[in-house]
Every structure is written in C-alpha cells, then in structure tokens.
Amino acid sequence: MKAFIVYWHPEPKSFNHAMFITAQQALIGHGWEVMTSDLHAMAFDPVSSRANFRSVKDPHYLRPQIEERHATEVSGFSGDLAAEMAKLEACDLMIWQFPLWWFGVPAVLKGWVDRVFAMGRIYGGGRVYDRGALRGKRAMLSLTTGGPASAYVKGGSNGDLHGILRPIHRGMLQFVGFDVLAPHTVNGPVRMNDEQRRSELERFRRRLATIVEEAPMDVGQY
C-alpha cells in the first residue's frame, strides 16, 4: 500500500508539522510505503503559467486546459509537475495536512491542485466523479482550526465544518475520482498544553493504524 501526504505550513515547529511527521511514522510502522510533498520546503510555486509545460500547443495565447491536454499527449509537463502527478497516480491513500485558512486550503495547496490536477491527465473526457481517473483511491483531509469545535457546528459562529469542506471534498477530491474519508480535525491546538497536543497526536496515530478499514463517507449528505 502506498500513501501520499501533501503538507503545507510555513513553520517547521508547528503542530501541523508534528502531524505531518506523525502520519509518516504511523503509516510506515504499519507497512505503508509513504511518499510526501512538503510544499513549503519545496518552495512549490502555486502560480499556473507556461512554466507548467515543456511543450507548447499555442505559443500566442495561453489556454491552460488546452495546454494540459496537449502536454498529456506528448509528455510535456514540467519535471516538478510530472513528479507530483506520478505520486498522485501511484498512491492508494492521499492525505492533505494543512491549517484551515479563510474557510479553505492555504493558497499554496490550492495552487498545487490548480497545477497538478491537469485536464487530460487527472480528469476530463468524461472521467469525473465515479468515472474519475483516480477512482479506487482514497483521500482524507487532516487539518487544524484556529477556533474551538463549537464554532464549527450548525448554528456555530463559523457554521458546519462539513459544509465548509464540501467544496474541497466534492469539487476537488471526488471530482477526480477519490473516495473521501471523514476529515481528521484538531481544533485550536495553539490553545492546548503539551499534554493535550501529545494526546491529539496519539489519537491521530490510532486512527491511521486502522485507516485501511475505514469506509468512505457520503459527501452528498452535506
């Protein structure tokens, strides 16, 4: 089994980084082969441009999806994107580790999706949702929030977390074929003491120990 962990946080001493390391250790300890992309350490460029491609379909007008389809046909993606796509296609389980920022994924992680989820290679030609190119694979969001759990429920100040995450679950992950597992959420780690943070990391380890047994959630209910 192969896992792919995509992580972004600007601070290597952060709790998110501790979760990133914990996930690697836990999965390797249970026999997984683990691939990672630490987007901050990689200085991953989130901005789509002609730098996405070694090939050129139309030199006069950049239409990203047209260039993506052409690059798929002629193996024309830049080396950095080709490497990310290869990890994406090889994994059985993908985990995104990130802090929830402005009710979504941080800009670099969103830019990773913009550049790596390429038309022709990862979706398109009718290959979406249950016919998606990545069907049979599973994905899970692992995230931290700044606010308490009570802020992320129906009637809470920020609204239901499942509703907040639905554009990611449905519009990114399910769209390309992933079966989506329930998100793993740690609320307000900045306000926890060391013992509480250690307890949360242990809770994460326990979940990952049996992750292979989990059934996908029904995103459509949210």
Residue 58, judged by CB atoms within 10 A of its CB (0-12, 13-18, 19+), counts as exposed
At 153, the pLDDT band (50, 70, 90 cuts) reads confident
Structurally, the chain folds into a number of domains equal to 1
Q: What is the pLDDT of residue 154?
A: 86
Rounded CA-CA distance 146/19 in Å is 16
Three-state DSSP class for residue 87: helix
Domain boundaries, position 195? 2-221
Q: What is the pLDDT of residues 170-201, one digit of tens each?
A: 999 999 999 999 999 998 888 879 999 999 99
Over residues 25-40, mean pLDDT: 97
Going 25 to 26 to 29 to 35, the CA torsion angle's sign is negative
Q: What is the pLDDT of residue 220?
A: 64
Q: What is the pLDDT of residue 155?
A: 80
Contact 5, 34 (CB under 8 A): yes
Over residues 28-52, mean pLDDT: 97
Over residues 34-54, mean pLDDT: 97
CATH code, domain with 53: 3.40.50.360
Three-state DSSP class for residue 57: coil
Residue type for 98, please?
F
Range with the poorest average pLDDT among 81-90, 115-124, 125-134? 125-134
Q: What is the pLDDT of residues 80-117, one digit of tens each?
A: 999 999 999 999 999 999 999 999 999 999 999 999 99
Whose CA is closest to 9, among 106, 87, 81, 94? Answer: 106
- The whole-model pTM stands at 0.93
